[in-house]
Chains A and B, each alone.
Chain A
């Protein structure tokens, strides 16, 4: 590869002593200070509780309502309107998961179950939240619309075992999701 020589910009005298830039910086800070004192800062309304409306007082106040729709929090399993847990343990998320956080034990649905025709669901579904990198590939790869990244970001625990979400916990975080494609309906 040819060597490209970069030309540094030529500074004149005023620029090279920086004083002008320093003054500019102070001016910006001063403008914001005056703005916030007058209660006119950018997030004055949403962060009003902080007094000056500049800094969020976490954890008394939370991000939650500011999170965008595309926010990628904890991955979770969802249930549909008909009360069926949607995961059929195809293990594609386990396969695609870059940090290998997902571990699924497939299982068969007993023949007396109302959803016996689906035949398969996870006997165990574990996501190690210490490993999870919130990349969202599991959601993207899921052919059954069963796993979604929710807005939960407060994943804490006192030991490693606490940080492994089992199937019950995942279904509890996921809750019921409506409007999904239902290919396992009566006609199926």
Chain B
């Protein structure tokens, strides 16, 4: 550095100084100069610039071993000036880039000042073609039977960057196929491209390092520990991040090709975390559920127990039409008759003899209408059913109700479960003669027994599945399940999120909100207009300050924080620490 800078450089404010003021660096990507935060990985810089660099082993939520070599790009650094020589700069003040002769991996290298990156060109194209050729040497021609076909990175990159035909005459290496590596995951070692994402996921995110590579060279084989199968409650996430069909889900195995499936963004309802999910449907059937990335809720992951809990939706246990009890048996009735019966039976009781047990599995809109129903009946006996269980250290919350926070907001109470014991005692003592049960099974989940319910003069239950309480109910109303309705819920950390309808409810099932509206209107005789879930949300938003100015569509697919509960999702705490330590990129 010279003591007296030349007048030309002194007058010109260099781009590197401008960028340094905000802690950023200048990087030229495919000929265009941009600024990126210091420490950004080259692959992330390219992504921000709108160029996706093909990759297999790199995952933003996992460490970067740089093992697949697919993300190689051409890199250039400022030319090093000879001693005493000033760096050469162009008119804009950028130094001349001296391109490195050999490609570098973009996933594990960070950007630096005045760096150049080329993601296209002969060198990069030849590199990718070479890497693809190596990866395909021993890859079997399993595509017609492989569940990954259609969402396989190897297929995509082979078409995008590979050769059209193979040059190899040698026999392919034999490896174990169709291995039961865990209770829910199937392994095909021949398809494995040794990216190691699953190994890193199990050791870094789940903290159960049960997977690893054995053997060497082309015989390298992915295996689980001999004494410990891949039985974690997060094992199916490995099938999501596996870029090929090496790890596939037993549950989804050979069920449907992915190109037939339609994706619907929604949220999980199995615990208070409110994991963001994607529902994959064809026709009126859900084939699988996968996690949907939301860095404020579930990152990219979800527990297996929640993921696989959708098979009851098209089971024979579904209620498909309203049922009324005649003697010992239930018989189908029309919706109109059901509402008339319910209204006359409920109006015959004194308000204090009626109780409502609703569910914290209901959406905000449904709880809002439940509150309106309680007001119409004049009863204050309204409680939800608590559902607490062991949490885990990642995503499964202790509160297995998805909308407890929403219930507190909508019902305007700090403990929506407080009156359950009183209602139970009232039912046992005969003080409560009529009971409305919404979406809950009292006998299994709320500490009632069949003998408690038998003396009730009127028991109405709305539920999706056949259950012991329905046996005692005088009127059973079939409702839509979580994948069949729209609505909003608030998760434990106070984030308002949206359920979306992926499939149609079976038979004569109706949305809970329609049932609640019709029941309330049958009781009050008031036929106001509430024709859509949007109108209910609007009415709810007007009464609830936290929801003011919001509509269902404004919630968006990633949700909106509406309150601060102080609840930390354990997975995010760990992930943010790893991010701050620069172990992962995002």
Contacts and interface: CB of A to CB of B under 8 A. Distances in A.
Interface of A: 88-92, 94-95, 106-108, 117-120, 143-144, 183, 187-188
Interface in B227-257: 253-257
B348 to A, nearest CB: 52
A120 B144 CA distance: 9
12 contacts: A88-B145, A90-B143, A90-B145, A90-B149, A91-B257, A91-B260, A95-B259, A106-B256, A117-B177, A119-B178, A119-B254, A120-B144
A91 B260 CA distance: 9
Interface string B172-190: 0000011000000000000
B253 A108 contact: yes
Contacts of B143: 90, 143
Nearest to A116: B178
B254 A120 contact: yes
B581 interface: no
Contacts of B255: 106
A120 B143 CA distance: 12
Interface string B124-149: 00000000000000001101110001
B144 A90 contact: yes
A184 B203 CA distance: 36
A-B pairs, top 3 by smallest CB distance, nearest first, are A90-B144, A120-B145, A106-B254
Given A95-B260, A106-B255, A120-B254, A183 B178 contact: no
Interface in B434-472: none
A120 B256 CA distance: 12
Contacts of B92: none
A95 to B, nearest CB: 6
Interface in B254-294: 254-257, 259-260
- Looking at B140, B144, B177, B178, which has the most chain A CB atoms within 10 Å of its CB? B144
A135 B254 CA distance: 27
B254 A108 contact: yes
Given A90-B257, A108-B254, A120-B254, A187 B144 contact: no
Contacts of B141: 183
Nearest to A108: B254
B255 to A, nearest CB: 7
A111 to B, nearest CB: 8
Interface in B46-86: none
Contacts of A188: 140
Contacts of A95: 257, 259-260
A96 to B, nearest CB: 11
Contacts of B260: 91, 94-95
- Looking at B145, B171, B177, which has the most chain A CB atoms within 10 Å of its CB? B145
B138 to A, nearest CB: 13
B257 A143 contact: no
Interface of B: 140-141, 143-145, 149, 171, 177-178, 253-257, 259-260
A187 B257 CA distance: 27
A39 B343 CA distance: 91
- Looking at B143, B257, B260, which has the most chain A CB atoms within 10 Å of its CB? B257
Nearest to B190: A188
A88 B144 contact: yes
A119 B257 contact: no
A187 B254 contact: no
Given A117-B177, A119-B178, A107 B254 contact: yes
B550 to A, nearest CB: 41
B248 to A, nearest CB: 11
Contacts of B253: 108
Contacts of A94: 260
A17 B456 CA distance: 100
Nearest to A106: B254
B145 A118 contact: yes
A2 B472 CA distance: 80
A105 B385 CA distance: 41
Nearest to A117: B177
A89 B143 CA distance: 11
A95 B177 CA distance: 27
Contacts of A143: 143-144
Contacts of A89: 254
Contacts of B178: 117, 119
- Looking at A90, A95, A119, A144, which has the most chain B CB atoms within 10 Å of its CB? A119
Nearest to A142: B144
A118 B142 CA distance: 9
Nearest to A95: B259
A112 to B, nearest CB: 13
A119 B253 CA distance: 10
A29 to B, nearest CB: 57
Nearest to A146: B144
A160 B166 CA distance: 47
A94 B178 CA distance: 26
Given A89-B254, A91-B257, A183-B141, 16 more contacts: A88-B144, A90-B145, A90-B257, A94-B260, A106-B255, A107-B254, A108-B253, A108-B254, A117-B177, A118-B145, A119-B145, A119-B177, A119-B254, A143-B143, A144-B144, A187-B171
